[in-house]
Structure 1
Amino acid sequence: MNRKNTGTRMSGKALLFINGEAPKSLPEPELYGLIACTDGAFNYLKQQNFPLEKLDFISGDFDSHTGNDENVYEGKFIFTPDQDKTDFHKALEIILEKRFSEVDVLGGSGGEQDHFLGNLTVAYVFKDRMNIRFYDQFSQYFFIPKNFSLTGIQGRMISLYPFPSAGNIVTKGLNWPLENEDLSIISRLGTRNFAAENEISVTYETGDLLIFIGTPYR
């Protein structure tokens, strides 16, 4: 079945827009089985003429959006007033309740940098339950498992960021390899490396690692 021609959304993956820097380009809605946004992201989606009828829900405490469009998008606004959690966190909870565990996130960086750091922390909280990938105009980034490999990225910038530390790291295919080495946010980072080969692999024994891949959203 040609998803573009039929307009049928077939994927088991969710797409979530949150209230960071607005994406420079928007993906095809047909690539996703569920599409959602937080209240602040709803504003920039309207400005970018995103097909809002494709949204499955808009959630948040509505401090960035009043919800005045509720008559137009009846049943799609979900009020989540819990101030102990961010709108991103609460949106992920809803997506998980809807049985989606693969999520592409746009709007996770840029703007106020405390939001960006908070978004990484939220992704960490969900990392064992959901596969969350962030995309912005500079890179894609996500938490990786203890044994990870990727192909087709020769020449791309690769950064390994410990969260907050990772031990006994071994890499292959990177220009500056690691051989049973440790990274920590207070002593040593693994940023600004690059893929010297078409395939790279990363293994580590303890802690957690974020990978940043210098490639635009596709």
Structure 2
Amino acid sequence: MSKKCLIILSYVNYPSDQLLYQLTEEADYIICADGGQMIARSYNILPDVVIGDFDSTSIDEKFDCLYITYPAEKDITDAEASLNHAVEMGCDDVTCYGGIGGRLDHMLGNISILSKYSDKIKLRFMDDRNYLTMITNSSIVLPKSLRYQYFGVVPLDREARGVTISGAKYQLSNVDMKRASTLGISNEVSGDAARVSVKKGSLLIARSSDIEEK
């Protein structure tokens, strides 16, 4: 049976109490990465563990849960440290709330995390306007969503071979996509769901909505 984990990160570009409470209810295990504990406290969410170096976060009252402290000078981010712990706890379906749309270096690092872990577990980063995941030599079904109207696909390798997109406004059939191309940007689900597949390579899948449409 799948074990779902929610990791609340320290920065959420577009917060949503409705989305966060939904993710909390679905989670079997909740981790706060450093400043994510401030978000959890503001929404009265009790985590199972708080992980980080706590160099930029101060809190007067700690949660009644496990705290794992890392040195400030370390080789991984608090997000990856939290993800490592989730995997150690047997979680195979992980949602990171936040981590996109803030500091660009952290966002790029989180894309690297997707590349590193997505062949081992189900992993995505999301907030109220953006959803980021990745597939490698596989496929994904994208249900029609009121939250995320658009989707785009971007190769992470030099070339993704055999890309097929069906059930979308713009469809592809067994196309080789180069990383430097913008061919896969700004698509929409046309029916109940779209399907994206790639025969060889990795595709970043981004679901988004325009600000003015929310």
Band the TM-score falls in, shorter-chain normalisation: 0.7 to 0.9
Greater Cα shift, 15-24 or 121-130: 15-24
Match of 1:63 in 2: 55
Amino acid at match of 2:32: C
Q: Does 1:129 align with 2:120?
A: yes
The gaps in structure 2 that reach 5 residues or longer are none
Match of 1:119 in 2: 110
Whole-angstrom CA distance in 1 between matches of 2:102 and 2:207: 20
Give TM-score scaled by structure 2 length: 0.83
SS in 2 for 1:95: helix
Measured after TM superposition, the shift of residue 214 of structure 1 is: 3.4
Whole-angstrom CA distance in 1 between matches of 2:101 and 2:140: 27
Q: State which of 6, 16, 34 in structure 2 corresponds to 1:15.
A: 6
Q: Does 1:37 align with 2:32?
A: yes
The gaps in structure 1 that reach 5 residues or longer are 1-10
Is the CA contact 2:52–2:68 (under 8 Å) kept in the aligned structure 1?
yes
Whole-angstrom CA distance in 2 between matches of 1:182 and 1:188: 13
Greater Cα shift, 23-32 or 125-134: 23-32
Measured after TM superposition, the shift of residue 66 of structure 1 is: 4.0
SS in 1 for 2:74: coil
Whole-angstrom CA distance in 2 between matches of 1:24 and 1:75: 24
Q: Deviations over 1:42-80 (max 9, x none)?
A: 22333xx2224x2001101111224654xx435521012
Is the CA contact 2:140–2:195 (under 8 Å) kept in the aligned structure 1?
yes
Q: State which of 89, 93, 99 in structure 1 corresponds to 2:80.
A: 89
CA RMSD of aligned residues (A): 2.5
CA 1:107/1:147 → structure 2, altered by over 3 Å: closer, same or farther?
A: closer
Q: Does 1:161 align with 2:154?
A: yes
Whole-angstrom CA distance in 2 between matches of 1:186 and 1:89: 27
Q: Deviations over 1:16-66 (max 9, x none)?
A: 1112225232224332111111112222333xx2224x2001101111224
Is the CA contact 2:143–2:189 (under 8 Å) kept in the aligned structure 1?
no
Q: State which of 76, 79, 90 in structure 1 corresponds to 2:69.
A: 79
Measured after TM superposition, the shift of residue 149 of structure 1 is: 2.5
Q: Deviations over 1:157-189 (max 9, x none)?
A: 121121134111111111111122122332344
% identical aligned pairs: 27
Q: Deviations over 1:88-121 (max 9, x none)?
A: 1110010111111101111111221111111111
Is the CA contact 2:52–2:81 (under 8 Å) kept in the aligned structure 1?
yes
